[in-house]
Structure 1
Amino acid sequence: MRKILTATMAALMATTALGAAGAASAQSRGDHRYEQRDDRRDNRQDRREDRREFRQDQRQDRQEYRQQQRAYDRWQRAERRYNAPRYAPPRGYAVRTWSYGQRMPSYYRTNAYVVNDYGRYGLRAPPRGYQYVRSGNDVVLAAVAGGLITAVIAGLFN
């Protein structure tokens, strides 16, 4: 009888231990699933915030570009005409009209053609890396390094 009682007690303890271990493992697995779900939700929210920030940055870049474009219109007609010394084009070049996006030859970017007293002629200060260059009766805003034309102010001089 003792053997049977001992065997049943051992069996009962074993099943209880297995049941508790199974419940604990099921509970830990369940928590793990919730943690994964929360992690995925956090990742989605992070990505959403990143997209919002990216859109805000793009919007701000567009606004800055529009402001720069308003500040330096590509082609303007001068409101007032100024008297200036007689214009002589560089040797081998004729007077011509320039337009936005073209490149000025380096001969035009010498001190003889650069307009340094832009305030006297009602022009805004050029951005860093740009300069005003006279070409005939027009003034061109061109890059110092490559000569890329950013704006043309037509008819500034008599």
Structure 2
Amino acid sequence: MNKILTATLAAVIAGSTVGVATAAEAQSRHDRQDRRELRQDRREFRQEQRQDRQEFRQEQRQYARWQQAQRRYNAPRYVAPRGYAVRQWSYGQRMPSYYRTNAYVVRDYGRYGLRQPPQGYHYVRSGNDVVLTAVATGLITAVIAGLFN
């Protein structure tokens, strides 16, 4: 009986050490897999950030804040609103509400080589320049200098 008990005990001890080694190996494999997945996640995150920055730059180039007109167009004589003089506008300023009336809004932008303004914006003529402004607030988002003769 002693021999059987000793053999059983030896088998249990041997099996438990193998089980511990197997569990340790499994944990090690699991850790390596986690690290691989973490590296892959970081790569994907950096790639998405690069794509976001690239798209942002493309949008910025699409509507540059200040542009010199590539071509000049003939247009009717410009008459400034009463009480206002022709001046140089720049990005971030607000145009007075009087400029946002139909007399100064450029509706045929395609004729002058301008892109269609985004929703909620329109082109306003000020002297020989054209300014892209928000319809509601008059906030200037782009200036195209020297578009008209």
User: Where does the alignment leave 5 or more consecutive residues of structure 2 unmatched?
Assistant: none
2-side partners of 1:57 and 1:70: how far apart? 20
Report if aligned partners of 1:134, 1:140 keep a CA contact under 8 Å in 2. yes
Q: TM-score by structure 2 length?
A: 0.82
Query: Of residues 32, 47, 67 in structure 2, which corresponds to 1:76?
Result: 67
2-side partners of 1:18 and 1:149: how far apart? 86
RMSD: 2.3
Identity between Structure 1 and Structure 2 (%)? 66
Task: Name whichever of 91-100 and 134-143 sits farther off.
Answer: 91-100
1:23 correspondence with 2:14: yes
Task: Show the counterpart of 2:58.
Answer: 67
Report if aligned partners of 1:84, 1:157 keep a CA contact under 8 Å in 2. no
User: Where does the alignment leave 5 or more consecutive residues of structure 1 unmatched?
Assistant: 1-8
**Distance of aligned partners of 1:148 and 1:23 in 2 relative to their CA distance in 1, 3 Å threshold:** farther
Q: Which runs of 4+ in 1 moved over 4 A?
A: 91-94
2-side partners of 1:46 and 1:14: how far apart? 47
The Cα offsets for residues 9-67 of structure 1, whole Å up to 9 and x where unpaired, read as 2x222222221111222111111111111111111111111111112112212222222
Report if aligned partners of 1:143, 1:150 keep a CA contact under 8 Å in 2. yes
Q: CA deviation at 1:85?
A: 4.5
Query: Of residues 78, 83, 86 in structure 2, which corresponds to 1:86?
Result: 78
Task: Show the counterpart of 2:38.
Answer: 47
**Distance of aligned partners of 1:124 and 1:28 in 2 relative to their CA distance in 1, 3 Å threshold:** same
Give, as a single letter, the amino acid of the residue that structure 2 aligns with 1:109. R
Greater C-alpha radius of gyration:
1
2-side partners of 1:28 and 1:19: how far apart? 14
The size of the alignment, in residue pairs, is 148
2-side partners of 1:76 and 1:138: how far apart? 10
Aligned residue runs from structure 1 range 2-151, under 5 A: 9=1, 11-78=2-69, 79-89=71-81, 93-151=84-142
Q: TM-score by structure 1 length?
A: 0.78
Report if aligned partners of 1:81, 1:155 keep a CA contact under 8 Å in 2. no
1-side partners of 2:33 and 2:25: how far apart? 12
